[in-house]
Amino acid sequence: METLVLRHLDAAIKRFNVCSCDRCRCDVAAYALNHLPPRYTIATYEKLAQLEQEVPLSTVTDALIKAVIQVRSKPRH
């Protein structure tokens, strides 16, 4: 999940015109990850890539949008 969130993080921040400082980026990522279901597994890198493809992109996007809105409304700086 982490790689999916981080892969789409910058696009979400740009789309919603949110501060892109390190603290805000970390807050958005943390908020999104905390609102996604955990997926614990022991696997090879190839298997992890396959498992990531099974996660609907809309699920990750929804979590990122909620995270961006939350951080934009209450930045910690």
65, pLDDT greater than 80: yes
Please give the backbone phi and psi of residue 41, each rounded to the nearest 5 degrees, phi first.
Answer: -160, 155
12, pLDDT greater than 80: yes
Residue 73: both structure tokens together:
């409304």
Cα dihedral: 29, 31, 34, 39 (round 10): -20
Q: Comparing C-alpha atoms, which of 24, 33, 32 is closest to residue 66?
A: 32
Cβ count near 64 (within 10 Å): 26
Q: Give the pTM.
A: 0.84
**Mean of the pLDDT values across residues 5-28?**
96
